[in-house]
Amino acid sequence: MWTIPKTGFIISVNMSFKENLTVLYGRNEIDFKVRQLAQVIKQDYEDKNPLFVSVLKGSFIFMADLARQLDFPLEIEFVRLSSYNEDTKSSGKINIVQDISFEVKNRHVLIVEDIVDSGLTVKFLKDMLEEQQAASVRVCALTNKPSRRTCAVDIDYLGFSVPDKFIVGYGLDLNQKFRNLPDICVLDEPKQQSEMR
């Protein structure tokens, strides 16, 4: 069980380790931001029958909330990518775990991402969609961690810039956990239970 406080408060998660989570952006702030993004996206895509490509798994909640704020025809596809890591450093190689099945040629595509960190995932996907001759490819990212960038990536629609901390919640995970937190939280260093007493 966890309880969710207002922004800036600290919550404890009842697990074998007690993680401290500090709310960075609360659910109301996220909701407001998603509505703002939807307004701009609507202006740009209303008459284009766009194809939204949601990058699994992290963007599934963002995609769902964004889609429900858009009241014009659009299509949604999912892609799952993973990056190979060597000695905790990204090798820069991206692996397609689940490819898109839609015809991309001549479509206006919007990539929907949870976070742009190194930028490698978005760059890989954008290049891939452009090779498939999409009419246009833009990027909508819920969060951006510019301090960690290793390759140039343009983010056309951005929710929040986040500090160089590991964030979880609202779809973002640590080892598949915390995706269901309604707020975007910073995960502090895990502490042994004994240290918490």
Amino acid, res. 173 = D
Burial bucket for residue 193 (CB in 10 Å: 0-12, 13-18, 19+): exposed
| Residue closer to ligand IMP (CB basis): 120 or 181 | 120
- Tell me whether residue 74 or residue 184 sits nearer to ligand IMP (CB atom): 184
Task: Return the number of the residue (49 or 180) whose C-beta is nearest ligand IMP.
Answer: 180
Nearest to 30 by CA among 122, 114, 135, 154: 114
Instruction: Identify what 167 binds: Mg ion, ligand IMP, none; CB under 5 to 8 Å per kind.
Output: ligand IMP
What's the min distance (Å) between Cβ of 197 and Mg ion? 36
Pick the piece of the chain touching Mg ion (CB under 5 A) from 42-50, 109-117, 145-153, 162-170: 109-117
Q: What are phi and psi of 66, to 5 degrees?
A: -65, -45
**Which residue is associated with the tokens 């709310």?**
23
Note whether 114 binds Mg ion by CB under 5 A: yes
Does 58 bind Mg ion (CB under 5 A)? Our answer is yes
Mark 21-50 with x for binding to ligand IMP (rule: CB under 6 A) and - for no binding: ------------------------------
The β-bridge partners of 113 are 141
| 3-state DSSP percent of the chain in helix, strand and coil, to 5 | 25, 35, 40
* Structure tokens that stand for 129 in this block: 């969609």
87 counts as catalytic: no
Burial class (CB in 10 A: 0-12, 13-18, 19+), 180: exposed
Q: Does 116 bind ligand IMP (CB under 6 A)?
A: yes
Least distance from ligand IMP to the Cβ atom of residue 46, Å? 28
Q: Which stretch binds ligand IMP (CB under 6 A): 17-25, 29-37, 96-104, 111-119?
A: 111-119
Does position 117 interact with Mg ion (CB under 5 A)? The reply is: no
CB 181 within 8 A of CB 114: no
Catalytic positions, please?
Answer: 117
